[in-house]
């Protein structure tokens, strides 16, 4: 089935350490790609997006993501994590040529930041 996979349910990172959250998709053609962050009880905030072009995209809060077509991946990275980054992170895709472009979300990765 076509899907979005976030293989890590939980990740714990020390404050100041680097972070990489994994996302893979299984659609045949390259979709639009997004990363959202959700703090407890809050809504979805867009971190960054990829439509085409440069495969390394910069987002808000110091996050970046790299699209790798050969691996069908769009991993999220941050060089130095802050305690305020503790949240749930969702990768999402939009399949192209579907007309109305619904978002398909991964199951999320919960990031815990240790002192």
Partner 1 sequence: EPEVTQTPSHQVTQMGQEVILRCVPISNHLYFYWYRQILGQKVEFLVSFYNNEISEKSEIFDDQFSVERPDGSNFTLKIRSTKLEDSAMYFCASRIDREQFFGPGTRLTVL
Q: What residues numbered 77-96 form the site for partner 1, per CB under 8 A?
A: 90, 92, 94
Of 13 and 33, CB closest to partner 1 = 33
Which residue lies nearer to partner 1 by CB, 86 or 94?
Answer: 94
CB of 65 to partner 1, least distance (A): 15
71 near partner 1, rule: CB under 8 A? no
Residues from 2 through 61 that contact partner 1 (CB under 8 A) = 32, 36, 41-44, 46, 49, 51
CA distance 63 to 3: 24
Residues 76/23, Cβ–Cβ less than 8 Å: yes
**N- to C-terminal Cα distance for the chain?**
40
Pairwise CA distance, residues 104 & 37, whole Å:
15
CA distances from 7 to 22, 54, 69, 107, 108 (A): 7, 25, 18, 9, 9
Q: Given the rule CB under 8 A, which residues bind partner 1?
A: 32, 36, 41-44, 46, 49, 51, 90, 92, 94, 98-108
């Amino acid at each position: 089935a076509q899907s979005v996979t976030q293989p890590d349910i939980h990740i714990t990172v020390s404050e100041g350490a680097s972070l990489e959250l994994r996302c893979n998709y299984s659609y045949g053609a390259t979709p639009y790609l997004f990363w959202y962050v959700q703090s407890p009880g809050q809504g979805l905030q867009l971190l960054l997006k990829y439509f085409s072009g440069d495969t390394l995209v910069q987002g808000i809060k110091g996050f970046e993501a790299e699209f790798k077509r050969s691996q069908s991946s769009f991993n999220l990275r941050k060089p130095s994590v802050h305690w305020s980054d503790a949240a749930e992170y969702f990768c999402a895709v939009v399949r192209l040529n579907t007309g109305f472009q619904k978002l398909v979300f991964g199951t999320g990765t919960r990031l815990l930041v240790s002192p």
